[in-house]
Chains A and B, each alone.
Chain A
Amino acid sequence: MLAYILRRILYVVPIAFGVSVVCFSLVHLAPGDPLQTILPADATAETIEIVKKAYGFDKPIPVQFGLWLLHVLQGDFGVSISSRRPVIDEVLGSLSNTLVLTGFAIPVAFVIGFTMGAIAGCHPGRAIDRFVTGVAVMGVSLPNYWLGIVLVIVFAVEWMVLPATGMGPSGSASFSIFRLDDLRYLILPVITLSMIPIGILSRTTRAAVAEIRGQDFIITLRAKGLSEFAIIRHVVKNAMPGVLAVMGLQFGYLIGGSILIETVFTWPGSGFLLSKSIINRDIPVLQGSILLLAMVFVATNLLVDLLQSAIDPRIRRA
């Protein structure tokens, strides 16, 4: 087991390196000079030279990359152009707000998706199966940011029962998940965010449960005279590792992919920060938040792999 863990962690190192190369190159993908946004339009050639030197842009690109990586490894992601605050503070603060959202959305999606999928998988071909499959297809085809807008229209504009946007009545700084007034702000974004995972999880669960129910050992169990409930317990136990892996992946996707929903609900999370940095052309924040989010995603995948191999020893041997 230890050897497997070490091997998996070692395998992540080159990927993390590649991810940082991609994030570094983002600056150079940008049209024009990376300094364009901070320099006044009428800057003299001399000023440009000085600023270039100050930011290290006069060095060859591989050297620039090495220096940047060195800083990043020490937790120094540079300074935001628009707010003048260290990028790392901005990104970590917003990441925790995103985690609040995903932390609620994933359990909700798991309970609903798994239950729906298990029920459908136990009655393949029946009406309930077709209903669940239909809901699942709708879940994955839904433009979820649109669903967010529709929910705002219904619950905030028409019925006025829930707040439309924002994080808590007095902003994100004093937000607490233990206060009922603050929790109301979570309801709509969490429903919206859990829609795609519900679709994917119920699909995965349905397929796994239907497949396991067709295996020989189920016939044996039935021949032994086990009750239907005991058989379902066996089926669920066998389906769990695969479904948990998919859930872990969804968790990673939500953290990195909640940008649209955070924009709809003006939730001050990492996705909202990212879209703000794109509008302001704040390249250090853009680079830093993408790098951190990608690293979180890589770490989640690693964790899911390790957890899965802990639950299911067959994976380690493969």
Chain B
Amino acid sequence: MSQTSATAQAASNWEADALPATKVRSYWQSVGYRLRHDPVTLVFGAVVLAVILAAIFAPWIAPMDPYKDSVIGRLKPFGWRGHLLGTDELGRDMLSRLIHGGRISLMMGLVPVLVATIVGGILGVVAGFGGRAVNTAIMRTMDVFYAFPSVLLAVAISGAMGGGIGNGMLALSLVFTPAICRVAETATAQVRNLDFIEAARASGAGTFTIIRHHVLGNVLGPVFIYSSSLVSVSILLASGLSFLGLGVKPPEPDWGLMLSTLRQSIYVNPLVCAVPGIAIFITSICFNLVSDGIRAAMDVRM
């Protein structure tokens, strides 16, 4: 008798000891916790944020007018008459053009990924949840676009349509949609046959309700992680399009276009000519590392 009560005592002690230790964290809380304790991601995230803010507030931050040219002040070195990063081939302030250029470069990098995430995500869920015929129709169409190397497809579409920011973003969206669609389709197909979906259907939930409450939560994670890894690719491709003359039209400032027009002047002032590439490099590497950090924090294996 005394032994049972001792056991009960021990059990209740154990409970009292154990309870405060198991602090229950929700999934997103734990993701946030891991992100907050990941200094690398935090630092590079801050750089990304700074670049985005600089682009948004460019007219207030930029020290000079990015369009004002000067005949005598062409291709001057760093620090010449208050031009911190020198001047370009028309004598315009490099720093101001760099800050303003971030607007189009970032937009052309981010918008296609956003569009492709929405379109590709919807197509992928529909393909994964629809019948065999729907799946075949969507996924085989995606396979065709997958058969092009990404740079080639982007150049082909925007080149055929005659260039420009809009066409460039459209081309890049088309490039990323198939890949995101595949990720969404795989994630949907993995959940579709699980027991809790069966249970939801048995209790009378319609297809739309099942997708919204039971499927989306399982698909959004992988899709978000994959899309975030595409941002850096998109920035590189977008600046590449501008470099080829398929994006922005001069005199609009854009990192890729600046690199292309300054290329003619590498014999005059090589250092200044390399500057826009550094902006692209830094932005792309920061987005890449932040995406890696998010993936680690969300702990989804791809």
Contact = CB atoms under 8 A, between A and B. Distances in A.
Interface of A: 14-16, 18-19, 21-23, 26-27, 29-31, 137-138, 140-143, 145-147, 149-150, 152-153, 157-158, 252-253, 255-257, 259-260, 263-264, 274-275, 278-279, 283, 286, 290, 293-294, 297-298, 301
Contact of B281 (A29, A146, A278): A146
Given A149-B266, A153-B270, A259 B143 contact: no
B71 interface: no
A294 B156 CA distance: 11
A255 B266 CA distance: 27
Contacts of A149: 259, 263, 266, 273-274, 277
Given A143-B280, A260-B240, A275-B244, A255 B274 contact: no
Interface stretch (B145-153, B196-204, B217-225): B145-153
Contact of B266 (A27, A147, A153, A253): A153
B155 interface: yes
Contacts of B143: 15, 18
A153 B271 CA distance: 9
A256 B151 contact: yes
Contacts of B160: 26-27, 29-30, 283, 286
B236 interface: yes
Given A31-B162, A283-B160, A294-B147, 14 more contacts: A18-B140, A18-B147, A26-B160, A29-B161, A137-B292, A140-B232, A140-B288, A143-B259, A143-B277, A157-B270, A255-B149, A256-B149, A257-B152, A286-B159
A256 to B, nearest CB: 3
Nearest to B151: A257
Contacts of A137: 285, 288-289, 292
Contact of A141 (B140, B162, B236): B236
A149 B274 CA distance: 8
B243 A145 contact: yes
Given A256-B152, A257-B150, A259-B152, A18 B141 contact: yes
Contacts of B288: 137, 140-141
| Residue among A19, A31, A149, A256 with the highest chain B CB neighbour number at 10 A | A149
Contacts of A274: 152, 155-156, 159
Contact of A275 (B141, B155, B276): B155
B280 A152 contact: no
25 contacts: A14-B140, A18-B144, A26-B157, A29-B160, A30-B161, A137-B285, A137-B288, A141-B287, A141-B288, A143-B239, A143-B281, A153-B274, A157-B267, A253-B150, A257-B152, A259-B155, A259-B244, A260-B151, A260-B240, A260-B243, A263-B243, A263-B244, A274-B156, A290-B148, A297-B148
